[in-house]
Amino acid sequence: MATVNLIYFGSVMDITGTNSETIDAPATLNELNAWLISRYPGLSVISYRLSVNRQLITDNRQLVNGDEIALLPPFAGG
Amino acid sequence: MRTSKYLIEGPIPAAFVSKELSGHHSKTSAGAHACFLGQVRDDQVDGKRVTGIEYSAYGAMVDTVVQAIKDQLFKEFSDLICLHIYHSTGLVQSGEISLVVMVSSGHRKQSFAALEKCVELIKEKLPIWKKEFFSDGTSRWIQ
């Protein structure tokens, strides 16, 4: 089981109530996402993307110890 | 969380822009500097006025994304000499500057084109979020 750091931004942070946490994650990114939605049901009604180690990820992947996973609502810079 | 050299806490002062420009005197191959300043607008939403915007950023990822934007633009615009991006984090009041993009090139045409492309890429790719604050004390995330 991998220990990973989760980081939350923008409207995601309002749902999680914290800006980061460290957890023992399931094996894959898809499983982690499902776990997050069950833990924070509000995530199911908003739009967000996932990054692993500061790269946007659209496919599934194995998680490894020390991964930094961020939940990123739509960007709004400028 | 680690921040980024491209992020500035609070509004970006005019003096900062002036200092940045002054730093370019040594780049004597440049014939054009194009500059974009993004300013917080006092929009009216449902009868409430926007008084300011609070920006938050994923600093470590901003570094990665800005480097990728620079790499893309230097590949696309052969006349480009240098490119600087600065974005605010934290609270910026209406009328204050929250984004500075400076592009230098040998000739004017590529400075204009690269500047516009750079601003569009920032809007699309930079991991930054903003929360609008209204005159009645309420706020909302901009999606």
Question: Domains along chain A?
Answer: 2-72 (3.10.20.30)
Report the pLDDT value the prediction gives residue B2, as an integer from 0 to 100. 52
| Residue bearing tokens 């109530």 | A17
Residue B1 within any structural domain of the chain:
no
How far A54 CA lies from chain B's nearest CA (Å)?
5
Region A36-47 average pLDDT: 97
Cα distance between residue A51 and residue B61, in whole Å: 9
Residues of A in contact with B125 (CB under 8 A): 75
Instruction: Classify residue B93 by burial, with Cβ atoms within 10 Å: 0-12, 13-18, 19+.
Output: middle
Interface of B with A in 6-45 (CB under 8 A): 38
| Residue bearing tokens 């500097």 | B33
pTM for the model stands at: 0.94
Q: Name the pLDDT band for A1 (thresholds 50, 70, 90).
A: confident
Question: Do the Cβ atoms of A9 and B58 come within 8 Å?
Answer: yes
Establish whether this prediction's ipTM goes over 0.85: yes
How far A73 CA lies from chain B's nearest CA (Å)?
8
Q: Is A16 in a helix, a strand, or coil?
A: helix
Q: What angle do CA A62, A66, A70 make, to 5 degrees?
A: 75
* Mean pLDDT, chain A, whole residue set: 97
Residues of A in contact with B2 (CB under 8 A): none
Residue B66 within any structural domain of the chain:
yes
Residue B143 within any structural domain of the chain:
no
Report the pLDDT value the prediction gives residue B15, as an integer from 0 to 100. 94
Question: Do the Cβ atoms of A78 and B98 come within 8 Å?
Answer: yes
Contact at 8 Å (CB) between B45 and B132?
yes
Q: What angle do CA B2, B8, B9 make, to 5 degrees?
A: 85
Residues of chain A above pLDDT 70, percent: 100
**B70's tokens:** 């620079």
Cα distance between residue A25 and residue A11, in whole Å: 22
Domain that holds residue B119: 7-135
Stretches where chain B sits below pLDDT 70 are 1-2
| pLDDT tens per residue, range A11-33 | 999 999 999 999 999 999 999 99
Residues of chain B above pLDDT 70, percent: 99
DSSP B119: H
Q: Name the pLDDT band for A69 (thresholds 50, 70, 90).
A: very high
- Could you tell me which chain A residue has the CA closest to the CA of B139? A11
How far B65 CA lies from chain A's nearest CA (Å)?
9
Report the pLDDT value the prediction gives residue B25, as an integer from 0 to 100. 86
Mutate to test the interface with B, among A8, A9, A57 (most CBs of B within 10 A): A9
For residue B43, give the CATH number of its domain: 3.90.1170.40
* Alpha-carbon distances of A28 from A7, B68, B127, rounded to whole Å: 17, 27, 23
